[in-house]
């Protein structure tokens, strides 16, 4: 049954409210705690019992942090790492070119610097080398180093790790493992097939952090002291959000604590990046995912692959200012490249049809650095797993994004095993692949078959899930702050979306090319402002601008708006329906 009877909103979606069990749980929370109903609705959706509400709203890392030794090879990896430090051996860090890889590398480089050691950073070029270790790079690093640490990559790199003759290799990763593992000294990965999956939600930077926790434990056992790990949680938080890791369990504590660390502005690289991104308020998960993350990624996408890791690891304000400016410019260029590919990919995918179990598009010369972002756009438009492939010299390099409940990484690995792909891997929600041009059609057909077995073709247009009703008079700054305590919000922990029912539009104005700003009221004295980004890209903007006195149900998320030192609540309007 639809919420408030909204079967088709102005954006074409059905509104779905909480089920009976969630509503009952929310009522119980209201009765047994002193929390507002709007907060209890969020806790009920997260299955938080009344006796756990207080600890959930103030998660403590020490209570949620898994024992590093619960992961296979962890003790061995940390011991070998410390041996390299104590004996001043030559260490190389081989990192992926995205935010998670850059943050993982920075954690190691900063920790080593605090211990008086240096390490070589190596980040492969996305276009020339592709994802993960390659034979030539690993052999060259092995010739000059005693220990190579692969972060956010390496779990499937049998050949390249075998090529690292004369050096020990440690892998700290989170991507899906195969049936066999490379011949490395240690492979620490919660997504190895022989792990129990208890830590499967961790990103690579979190795995690196756990290894440093274990290294600190071994140092303490030897009556020595390591660097302050709590001060490094800003990097773990950044990677967790940017890699779209689910914000559950310890990930939630990582991000909560990491945002507090970041707010102190003690990391020169993140401070410089926040300044060029014009972040004027305390950092939130939104800032990590939409302002900082894309800029760090821009180096790996269309620029120099190691820029992000260097920015995050540097303690030189002059160097970080220059790197931040460079990444900001690259991000602008990336947006322009992405826009062109996105338009072509959407046209092609729509022509092929959005009702298949897999939505995909392929084009000559599409930049490998933006195909993943465009795949996300296709996924959002179709509510289907999506793949976008760019072809150059007969080889296609693609990236995929999945929807909730559909595993994309495992079928991609299966295609590689079946010989339809040159290589491929990833995790449930995101994957990458390399494929010969003449095999693209059969590979996508086969992938569609495998995804159909998971039910990928059964979903309709994405419903709009709403948390509950709210009145303008109740939407205070204090309430918004309490709701934020139930966060941070992101993957697997969506921000609550409240409905303001039967509202009168008091003011409506177009802002920029496609945004809409409105003021609305309930007729009882309660008023509120709202901003709808991209409203004029669809039917919602014109309908609300020309409201003609009609009343609407309005759905969106609470934001705290800061202007000249004063705070107020506004609604980030996402959908509307005639009342």
- Please give the backbone phi and psi of residue 10, each rounded to the nearest 5 degrees, phi first: -65, -25
Q: Just give the CATH number of 353-453.
A: 3.10.310.30
- CATH for 72-328, among 3.10.450.50, 3.40.50.300, 3.90.1640.30, 3.30.360.10? 3.90.1640.30
CA Rg value for the chain = 24
CB contact at 8 A, 498 and 466: yes
For 129-142, how does the pLDDT look when each residue is reduced to its tens digit (9 = 90+)? 988 999 999 999 99
In terms of Cα–Cα distance, which of 43, 41, 78 is closest to 59? 43
- Domain 3-17+466-578 grouped into CATH 2.40.50.460: yes
CB contact at 8 A, 497 and 548: no
In terms of Cα–Cα distance, which of 227, 273, 236 is closest to 258? 236
User: How many whole angstroms separate alpha carbon 88 and alpha carbon 280?
Assistant: 42
Q: What's the mean per-residue pLDDT of the chain?
A: 95
In terms of Cα–Cα distance, which of 262, 199, 241 is closest to 495? 241
Across 269-281, average pLDDT: 95
- 461 pLDDT band (50/70/90 cuts)? low
Across 537-558, average pLDDT: 96
pLDDT at 309 over 70: yes
CB contact at 8 A, 4 and 14: no
DSSP 8-state symbol, 179: S
**Two tokens, residue 520:** 């609305």
Q: Give domain limits for the chain.
A: 3-17+466-578, 19-58, 72-328, 353-453
For 62-96, how does the pLDDT look when each residue is reduced to its tens digit (9 = 90+)? 999 999 999 999 999 999 999 999 999 999 999 99
Across 327-342, average pLDDT: 95
DSSP 8-state symbol, 195: S
Prediction pTM value: 0.89
pLDDT at 444 over 90: yes
In terms of Cα–Cα distance, which of 445, 456, 450 is closest to 406? 456
Looking at 427-539, list the stretches that DSSP marks H as alpha helix, in order from N- to C-terminal side.
440-453, 477-485
Q: Per residue, what are the HEC states of 491-511?
A: CCECCCCEEEEEEEEEEEEEE
In terms of Cα–Cα distance, which of 249, 252, 229, 231 is closest to 240? 252
Q: Which of 120-124, 347-351, 564-568 has the lowest mean pLDDT?
A: 564-568
Cross-strand partners of 15: 464
User: How many whole angstroms separate alpha carbon 20 and alpha carbon 576?
Assistant: 24
Q: Give 487's contacts (C-beta < 8 A, 6+ positions apart).
A: 247, 252, 256, 285, 493, 495
For 19-78, how does the pLDDT look when each residue is reduced to its tens digit (9 = 90+)? 999 999 999 999 999 999 999 999 999 999 999 999 999 999 999 999 999 999 999 999
**Two tokens, residue 187:** 């492979």
Of all residues in the chain, the percent with pLDDT exceeding 90 is 89
CB contact at 8 A, 422 and 412: no
pLDDT at 128 over 90: no
- 460 pLDDT band (50/70/90 cuts)? low
In terms of Cα–Cα distance, which of 577, 558, 578, 561 is closest to 41? 558
C-alpha 374: how far from chain center:
15
Across 203-227, average pLDDT: 97
- 561 pLDDT band (50/70/90 cuts)? confident
């Amino acid at each position: 049954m639809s919420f408030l009877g909204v079967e088709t909103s102005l954006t074409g979606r059905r509104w779905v409210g909480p089920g009976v069990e969630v509503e009952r749980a929310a009522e119980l929370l209201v009765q047994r705690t002193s929390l507002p109903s709007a907060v209890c609705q969020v806790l009920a959706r997260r299955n938080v019992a009344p006796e756990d509400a207080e600890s959930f709203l103030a998660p403590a890392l020490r209570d949620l942090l898994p024992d590093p030794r619960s992961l296979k090879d962890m003790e061995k990896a940390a011991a070998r790492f410390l041996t390299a430090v104590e004996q001043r051996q030559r260490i190389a860090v081989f990192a992926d070119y995205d935010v998670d890889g850059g943050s993982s590398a920075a954690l190691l480089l900063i920790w080593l610097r605090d211990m008086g050691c240096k390490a070589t950073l190596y980040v492969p070029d996305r276009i020339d080398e592709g994802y993960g270790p390659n034979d030539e790079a690993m052999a060259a690093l092995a010739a000059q180093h005693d220990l190579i640490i692969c972060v956010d990559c390496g779990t499937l790199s049998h050949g390249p790790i075998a090529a690292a003759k004369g050096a020990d290799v440690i892998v700290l990763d989170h991507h899906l493992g195969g049936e066999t593992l490379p011949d490395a000294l240690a492979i620490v990965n919660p997504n190895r097939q022989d792990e129990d999956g208890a830590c499967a939600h961790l990103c690579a930077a979190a795995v690196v952090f756990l290894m440093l926790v274990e290294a600190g434990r071994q140092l303490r056992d030897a009556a020595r002291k390591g660097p302050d790990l709590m001060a490094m949680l800003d990097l773990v938080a950044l990677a967790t959000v940017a890699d779209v890791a689910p914000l559950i369990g310890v990930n939630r504590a990582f991000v909560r604590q990491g945002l507090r660390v970041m707010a102190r502005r003690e990391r020169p690289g993140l401070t410089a990046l926040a300044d060029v991104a014009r972040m004027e308020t305390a950092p939130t998960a939104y800032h990590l995912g939409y302002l900082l993350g894309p800029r760090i990624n821009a180096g790996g996408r269309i620029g120099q692959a190691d820029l992000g890791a260097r920015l995050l690891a540097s303690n030189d304000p002059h160097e970080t200012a220059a790197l931040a400016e460079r990444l900001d410019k690259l991000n602008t260029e990336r947006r322009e490249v992405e826009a062109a590919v996105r338009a072509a990919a959407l046209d092609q995918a729509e022509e092929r049809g959005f009702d298949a179990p897999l939505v995909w598009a392929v084009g000559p010369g599409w930049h490998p650095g933006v195909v993943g972002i465009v795949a996300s756009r296709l996924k959002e438009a179709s509510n289907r797993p999506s793949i976008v492939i760019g072809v150059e010299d007969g080889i296609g390099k693609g990236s995929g994004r999945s929807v909730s409940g559909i595993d994309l990484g495992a079928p991609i690995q299966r295609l590689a095993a079946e010989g339809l792909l040159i290589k491929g891997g990833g995790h449930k929600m995101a994957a990458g692949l390399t494929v010969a041009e003449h095999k693209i059609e059969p590979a996508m057909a086969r992938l569609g078959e495998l995804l159909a077995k998971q039910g990928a073709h059964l979903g309709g247009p994405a419903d709009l899930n709403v948390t509950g009703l709210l009145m303008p008079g109740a939407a205070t700054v204090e309430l918004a702050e309490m709701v934020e305590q139930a966060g941070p919000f992101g993957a697997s922990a969506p921000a609550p979306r409240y409905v303001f029912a039967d509202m009168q539009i008091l003011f409506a104005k177009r802002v920029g090319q496609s945004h809409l700003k409105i003021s609305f009221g309930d007729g009882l004295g309660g008023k509120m402002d709202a901003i709808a980004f991209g409203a004029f890209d669809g039917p919602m903007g014109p309908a609300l601008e020309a409201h003609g006195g009609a009343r609407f149900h309005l759905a969106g998320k609470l934001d705290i708006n800061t202007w000249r030192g004063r705070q107020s609540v506004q609604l980030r309007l996402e959908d509307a329906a005639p009342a």
